[in-house]
C-alpha cells in the first residue's frame, strides 16, 4: 500500500531580514549573497518557537486535508533546531494541535522531511493508520553563528507540513546516508558535565560550502535518476521538481545535468532562504496552493544535507 497527500500547510515568521540588514552585521553584500546563493531575504523568528511554527503549519495542513487533529494516527516531524531535547518537536506539536497519536522526530538534517515522509509511508503500508502528519520545522536562527558570514546569510526559519493517508500516489523513493561530520555539522557544545575533558566545538552550523555544494548537485541528479528508473519514467516526464532551497546555483546545475528546464523547478529561495528540513514542505505547500497542479502530474520532492544525507520521492498528484 502506498500513500497520497491529502493537504499541505506552511508558516514562516513575520520578521523579514534582508541582505542589506545582514550587511550591517557581517562583512557581506546584497550583491554577493544574491549572486552566490540566490537569497534576497529570509524570515527570522522573534517570538515563534520551532514547535509554534510547526503547529501553525500542521493546522493549515489539517484544514486543507479536511480532517481534525484527533483523527491523526501518527505524527513524524523532522528538525535539527528543536526547542527542547525532550519532549520531541512532534510531541510539542501534538500537544499544541490537540492530537493524541504517537509522535516522534527524525533527524536527517535538511533531508529530514524526506526521511519523515518515507517513515510515515512505511507505517501506513504496515496498516492500521488512516491519517499521518509529516512535517519539518526549524528555528535555525537559534543555532547559527551570527558572526560567521559563510553561514548566517544562507538560512531562515519556518515550517511545512503535509497530511498523508493510504493511497496510490507515492510511486518511488530513495534515501541515502553517508556518516561524515567533517563537511556539515551542528555540534551541540560542551554541555554541563564536570567530568568530560574532550574539546568540543560550540553550538553552531559548521559547513564546508564547496564540499556540500558538490555533494548536493551529485545527489539531486543521482537520486532523481534513480527514482525515475524505479518508476519506469524518464526525468523529462516529471512535471514539477521541489528541491531543497540551499543555493540557486545548485538547482540550476542540477537542472542542466538532468536535462529538465528550470521552469519545472519550484524555487522560493529568494524570499525564504534555506530552512533545512522545512524547505521542501514549505516549497511543496507553495506549489499545491498555487493551483498549478493537475490530476496525474508527476512531482519530485528532493533534499540533501548534513549526515551527509539525501532523499527523493516521486508522487503522482
**Closest residue to ligand UT7 in the complex (CB):** 209
Q: Which is nearer to ligand UT7, 110 or 282 (CB)?
A: 110
Pairing of strands 184-185, 158-167: unpaired
CA 94/CA 279 separation, integer angstroms:
21
Contacts of 199 (CB under 8 A, 6+ apart): none
| Residue that the C-alpha cell 507515492 belongs to | 170
**From 43, 174, 206, 244, the catalytic residue:** 244
Question: Which chain residues interact with ligand UT7 by CB under 6 A?
Answer: 28, 32-33, 36-37, 110, 149-150, 153-154, 209-210, 212-213, 216, 246-247, 250, 274, 276, 305
DSSP, collapsed to helix, strand or coil, labels residue 263 as helix
How many other β-carbons are positioned within 10 Å of the β-carbon of residue 117? 31
Q: Which is nearer to ligand UT7, 113 or 170 (CB)?
A: 113
**From 19, 107, 247, 274, the catalytic residue:** 274
Cβ at position 8, least distance to ligand UT7 in Å: 21
Cβ at position 12, least distance to ligand UT7 in Å: 16
Q: Which is nearer to ligand UT7, 67 or 135 (CB)?
A: 135
Cα angle: 38, vertex 39, 41; to 5 degrees: 155
Q: Which is nearer to ligand UT7, 238 or 250 (CB)?
A: 250
Cβ at position 305, least distance to ligand UT7 in Å: 4
Helices (H), 37-105: 50-65, 89-97
Cβ at position 152, least distance to ligand UT7 in Å: 8
Q: Which is nearer to ligand UT7, 29 or 100 (CB)?
A: 29
Catalytic site residue 180?
no
CA 52/CA 14 separation, integer angstroms:
13
CA 257/CA 135 separation, integer angstroms:
30
Catalytic site residue 110?
yes
Cβ at position 200, least distance to ligand UT7 in Å: 22
**From 19, 107, 110, 228, the catalytic residue:** 110
| Residue that the C-alpha cell 526547542 belongs to | 83
Catalytic site residue 244?
yes
How many other β-carbons are positioned within 10 Å of the β-carbon of residue 63? 13
Cell (9 digits) for 213:
555544494
Which residues make beta-bridge pairs with 209?
A: none
Active site residues: 110, 244, 274
Amino acid at each position: 500500500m502506498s500513500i497520497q497527500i491529502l493537504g499541505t500547510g506552511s508558516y514562516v515568521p513575520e520578521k523579514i531580514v534582508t541582505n542589506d540588514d545582514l550587511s550591517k552585521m557581517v562583512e557581506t553584500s546584497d550583491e554577493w549573497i544574491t549572486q552566490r546563493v540566490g537569497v534576497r531575504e529570509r524570515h527570522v523568528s522573534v517570538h515563534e518557537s520551532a514547535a509554534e511554527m510547526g503547529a501553525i503549519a500542521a493546522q493549515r495542513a489539517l484544514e486543507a486535508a479536511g480532517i481534525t487533529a484527533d483523527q491523526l494516527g501518527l505524527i513524524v516531524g523532522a528538525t535539527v533546531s528543536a526547542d527542547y531535547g525532550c519532549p520531541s518537536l512532534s510531541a510539542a506539536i501534538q500537544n499544541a494541535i490537540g492530537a493524541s497519536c504517537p509522535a516522534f522526530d527524525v533527524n536527517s538534517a535538511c533531508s529530514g522531511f524526506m526521511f519523515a515522509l518515507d517513515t510515515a509511508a512505511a507505517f501506513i503500508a504496515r496498516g492500521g493508520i488512516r491519517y499521518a502528519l509529516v512535517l519539518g520545522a526549524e528555528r535555525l536562527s537559534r543555532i547559527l553563528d551570527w558572526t560567521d558570514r559563510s553561514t548566517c546569510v544562507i538560512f531562515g526559519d519556518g515550517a511545512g507540513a503535509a497530511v498523508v493517508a493510504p493511497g496510490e500516489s507515492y510511486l518511488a523513493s530513495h534515501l541515502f546516508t553517508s556518516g561524515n561530520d567533517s563537511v556539515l555539522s551542528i555540534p551541540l557544545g560542551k554541555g554541563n558535565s564536570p567530568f568530560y575533558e574532550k574539546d568540543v566545538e560550540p553550538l553552531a552550523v559548521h559547513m564546508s560550502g564547496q564540499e556540500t555544494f558538490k555533494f548536493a548537485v551529485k545527489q539531486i541528479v543521482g537520486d532523481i535518476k534513480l527514482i525515475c528508473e524505479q518508476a519506469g519514467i524518464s526525468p523529462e516526464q516529471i512535471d514539477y521538481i521541489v528541491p531543497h532551497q540551499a543555493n540557486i546555483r545548485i538547482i540550476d546545475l542540477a537542472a542542466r545535468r538532468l536535462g529538465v528546464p528550470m521552469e519545472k523547478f519550484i524555487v522560493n529561495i529568494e524570499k525564504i532562504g534555506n530552512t533545512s528540513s522545512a524547505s521542501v514542505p514549505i516549497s511543496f505547500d507553495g506549489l499545491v496552493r498555487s493551483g498549478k497542479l493537475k490530476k496525474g502530474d508527476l512531482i519530485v520532492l528532493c533534499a540533501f544535507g548534513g549526515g551527509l544525507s539525501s532523499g527523493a520521492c516521486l508522487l503522482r498528484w
